[in-house]
Structure 1
Amino acid sequence: MSDETSTSTLIEESQDILRQTEALMAEAVNATGEEAKALQARVVRALERAKLSLGEAEKAALAKAGKAAKATDTYVRDNPWKAVGLGAAIGVVVGMLIARR
């Protein structure tokens, strides 16, 4: 499984957990006594799962960003003039877009 797929899956799982928690909270509005305590415990467990899942997604995203930064650094070190040219070209394009306004 690729990093992008695993990050996407983790985010989807987190969103699903949050939707389930939202449904539990809606049920809890009308619950009383032991039923309310049980629903509260389920909500707490669901939120803990969501927190863990989002933490994993964050770790995956940071790892991916680190790899991208390292690859960029390597490219710039290996091709400094290409990097300067690319930066200048991007600057010209951005300048032209700003001037159009």
Structure 2
Amino acid sequence: MSSSTDKTQQDPLQAEFKALIEDAEKLLQHAASLAGEQADELRQQIQLNLQRARSTLAENGEAVRQRGDAVRQAGETYVQHNPWQALGIVAGLGLLLGLLLGRR
């Protein structure tokens, strides 16, 4: 998946958390001066933002899991159809990693 698609999917999540942080800051700043209905209204607004952030997180978490499953399946299919190439790639990466760690 392209990085622009990943960025597009991250934007709503970032906006939700930014709104949540801003509301939490408002609550802290006005906690001493608010009483009664004003405090209840602010608490309700923060709860609503928390619920939206949780649902957005759940939706994005499911999308990430689905993409991970698709990548895993594609990798398994490649290895099944090209076992020697996969073995060569893994051996090459192992050799490279061994050389890099051996230099330490």
What's the offset of the Cα at 1:52?
0.4
Rounded to whole Å, the distance in 2 between the matches of 1:12 and 1:97 is 37
TM-score w.r.t. structure 2 length? 0.82
- Equivalent in the alignment of 1:97: 100
Runs of 4+ residues deviating >4 angstroms:
none
Instruction: Please give the root-mean-square deviation of Cα atoms over the aligned residues, in Å.
Output: 1.9
What's the offset of the Cα at 1:63?
0.9
The amino acid across from 1:82 in the alignment is Q
Higher relative contact order (CA 8 A, sep 6+): 1
Q: Are the equivalent residues in 2 in contact too, given 1:13–1:53 (CA < 8 A)? A: no
TM-score w.r.t. structure 1 length? 0.84
- Structure 2 stretches of 5 or more lacking a match? none
Rounded to whole Å, the distance in 1 between the matches of 2:52 and 2:29 is 19
Rounded to whole Å, the distance in 2 between the matches of 1:85 and 1:47 is 49
* 1:50-69 alignment runs, 5 A limit: 50-69=53-72
- Does residue 1:44 correspond to 2:50, yes or no? no
- Structure 1 stretches of 5 or more lacking a match? none
